[in-house]
Each structure stands twice: as C-alpha cells, then as structure tokens.
Amino acid sequence: MLEEHDEIGRPFQCAGLVTPAAMDRVSLESTILSSVHGARIHSPGGICVKVGTSDRIRTHIVCRKMFDEGVVRQALDVGASLWLGSKPESAEVYESGVRLIVSRRGTPTEVTCKLLCGADGAHSWVRRHFRMGRPKEMMIGFQAEVVGYRGEEGFLDMYTGDLVAPGLFAWAIPSGRSWRIGVWARPSDLKGRSCEHLYDALMSHPTWADRFRDCKEVGRYCGPLPCGLVSKPSKERVTLFGDAAGLCKPTTGGGIGPGFEQVDLVLEKLLQAVERDRLSAAQLKRVFKPLMAMKKEQERARILRDLFLTDCDDVSLERTFTTFAKPEVVEIINQFGEIEKPVPLGIRMLKDVPEFRPMAAKATWALLKG
C-alpha cells in the first residue's frame, strides 16, 4: 500500500458518517464518537421535519483518523506492507505485470506488481494516468469542526435553500464534544459564490442564527466528492476503488459504505483472477460487472434527488416540506428511509403520497431513460 502522506487519516476531508452495516464489516466500534438515530430537516423558510426513532441507530460518526488507521491495521495484520510518504510518478502495463516508479520520501524506487489498484481518492492519479474516465458529478464540500452549536442529542440537522445550499443541503453533525458544520454543492449551482460563502450564510441565517451564536471553530476542511461511476473502472491490470471510481452517493456524498460494498462485490473473483494471472481488460471487465448494478442504483438515486431537491426552487421546496411534515409521511420516512439505500423510500413516496403523484410520471420517464 502506498500512502502519499506521512500518516494515515490526514488530511481529514470527511463528515465521518459510517452506517451500522459498514461498521459491521470492520468492527471498529472503538472509533465511534457519537451515534445518530434521527434528523431534523429544515426547509428554506423554517419548516422543520423531524424523522427517526430512538430505538434504531441510523449512522455512526467516527474519528476518521482512528477509523482509517484501524482499517489499515487490519490489512497489515493479514500481510500487507505500507509505505508512507510515497506516491507513483509513472506506471506502465506490460505483458506480465505493471512497472511503477514510486517516489518514496523523495527517492525514486521501482516496484512491479500483477495488479495495480487505485484507491487513491477523488483526484485519483491512477484514474487520470490510465484515462479511465471521469465521475459524472464532482461536487465541492466544505466543513468546519466547531464547539458550541445548539443541536439536539442523537439528531443531525440538515438545512436547505438557495441561500445556504443551492441544489443540495447543509449539515450539522454531532461528533462527540464537537459538531461538524458543512455544505456541499455542484459548481454549476454556486453562481459565483464559494462554499465558504454558503457556510457563512448558514451561520448568519436569521431563522437559525441562534443555534450558531456560540460556535467556535476548531478546524476547517474542504474536498471534492466524486459521484457517478467512471466509464472504465478497470483496464488491463489496473482497477479503481471507492472515490477513485466515483462511488460517492449522489444523495449524501458518502463514500465509505459504497467503497466497502464494491469490495464485497468483486473480492472473490478478483482474488481468483490475481491467483491465475487472468488480468486482461476483458477478464477484469467481467470481474467488475457487478458494479453496473451499483451504477444503475446511483443513477436512480440521482434522479430522485433531483426530483425532490436539486431541481427545486425555494417555493417548490416549501410545498414539499409541507407534505413531508404530515404525520403519515413522517411514518413512511421512518419505515423506509435508509441512508445507504434511498431509492426505495423515494419510490414509495411517489406511490403512496398523493401530493407527490404528479411527479410520478416525470420520475418514471427519467428512471426508464436512465
């Protein structure tokens, strides 16, 4: 494993949400700072829809540095090697393997391998070097760690509206003794603003300013969120994983769960391919075929996101939140809402909520096209 930085988990560029299902895969409960069983979702005009039940944890918030270190430690325990301060400078695929020149703490070092796995993030060097395509959307995220936010224990807050989160949402996430306050946006929706402008607008918003009045920043972080599987997640002797492959969720920007899911989908056949040295482009394409189902699910989630949020102006959002706030709709959200799997909830809303039925034809057409 090559890690370009001098320590694992730095720099920190993540909200740190890990669902119970993802946590079960690595059993790193010691890294949990807090757990969330619900959300308070706010319309641009101040309507608050509170969802979630105290008997069910929806997601954990982890110390991302400890979590990353724990995952890497598990790899080391089963035989992996780790080079810190190391990054590839060149790579060439030849008949029997891949030859890399790696800058290891500034010293060029030649490395050969059967298979090169690019799990190197949103701006993946591997993806760019081997021209494996681009994620469908590249969002910009900005987040501050603060103390003094006036939230509710066990709940995260989500804020919508063009002023603070055009096309998507802003968030306040409890992380133990502090809170993570952030925004994300598509560059096309910023219209000359920056994510820092949106963050400042959220902090000073007249409806919610009192919650932020005593906030003191501990740190600021920013980074890209690649959403949409790239056209070629594998080539001859080269593969992409996680953010490098564009697997962040278009509904929340989360990447840990989808990254783990990708590994589960391809691991068995990929190991067989490595053992048998069957790593041609065609052979790896068959190994990675299960990712097409993930891609389809991403597209369906994006269509529903656009329908309910991204393509809506503030007036439309107010109408939607008025419907969301009805007890029978909250009950549907509580029953079918899943952070990792938003599509079933979206389809259920279109089917069972009369106010949303006019959207159904548009959604059906878009889903069929997708």
| Domain co-membership, 160 together with 184 | yes
Q: Which pLDDT tens digit goes with each residue over 24-64?
A: 999 999 999 999 999 999 999 999 999 998 889 999 999 99
The confidence score (pLDDT) of residue 364 equals: 67
The CATH code of the domain that includes 13 is: 3.30.9.10
Tell me: pLDDT of 361 over 80: no
Q: Report the phi/psi class of residue 311: left, alpha or beta, with left for phi > 0 and alpha for psi in -120 to 50.
A: alpha
Q: What is the mean pLDDT of residues 275-303?
A: 95
CA distance 56 to 1: 36
Report yes or no: 177 and 59 within 8 Å, Cβ to Cβ.
no
Residue 269 lies in a domain: yes
Q: What is the mean pLDDT of residues 308-333?
A: 94
| Domain co-membership, 144 together with 49 | yes
| Domain co-membership, 113 together with 233 | yes
| Strands, E assignment, the chain | 2-3, 17-18, 32-36, 38-42, 48-52, 59-62, 83-84, 86-94, 97-104, 107-113, 116-118, 137-147, 155-161, 165-175, 178-185, 216-227, 234-235, 238-240
CA distance 101 to 113: 12
| Domain co-membership, 202 together with 147 | yes
The confidence score (pLDDT) of residue 368 equals: 54
The confidence score (pLDDT) of residue 337 equals: 86
Selected residue with higher pLDDT from 360 and 300: 300
* 369 band by pLDDT with thresholds 50, 70 and 90: low
The CATH code of the domain that includes 114 is: 3.50.50.60
Q: Express the helix, strand and coil content of the chain in percent, nearest 5 each.
A: 40, 30, 30
| Domain co-membership, 119 together with 233 | yes
The confidence score (pLDDT) of residue 344 equals: 86
Residue 220 lies in a domain: yes
Q: Which pLDDT tens digit goes with each residue over 227-273?
A: 999 999 999 999 999 999 999 999 999 999 999 999 999 999 999 99
Q: Which domain holds residue 146?
A: 2-66+137-226
126 exposure class (CB count in 10 Å sphere: 0-12, 13-18, 19+):
buried
For the chain, the residue count is 370
CA distance 222 to 183: 10
Dihedral of the CA atoms 340, 14, 224, 290 (nearest 10)? -30
Q: What is the mean pLDDT of residues 186-210?
A: 95
If we measure between CA atoms, which residue out of 53, 225, 240, 78 comes closest to residue 154? 53
Q: For the ranges 155-169, 177-191, 343-357, which has the lowest average pLDDT?
A: 343-357
| Domain co-membership, 236 together with 280 | yes
Tell me: pLDDT of 341 over 90: no
Q: How many domains does the chain have?
A: 3
Instruction: Write down the mean pLDDT value for the chain.
Output: 93
* 351 band by pLDDT with thresholds 50, 70 and 90: confident
| Domain co-membership, 39 together with 58 | yes
* 366 band by pLDDT with thresholds 50, 70 and 90: low
% of the chain at pLDDT higher than 70:
97
Q: What is the pTM of this model?
A: 0.92
CA distance 7 to 85: 8
The confidence score (pLDDT) of residue 365 equals: 58
Residue 13 lies in a domain: yes
| Domain co-membership, 52 together with 195 | yes
| Strands, E assignment, 130-194 | 137-147, 155-161, 165-175, 178-185
Tell me: pLDDT of 193 over 60: yes
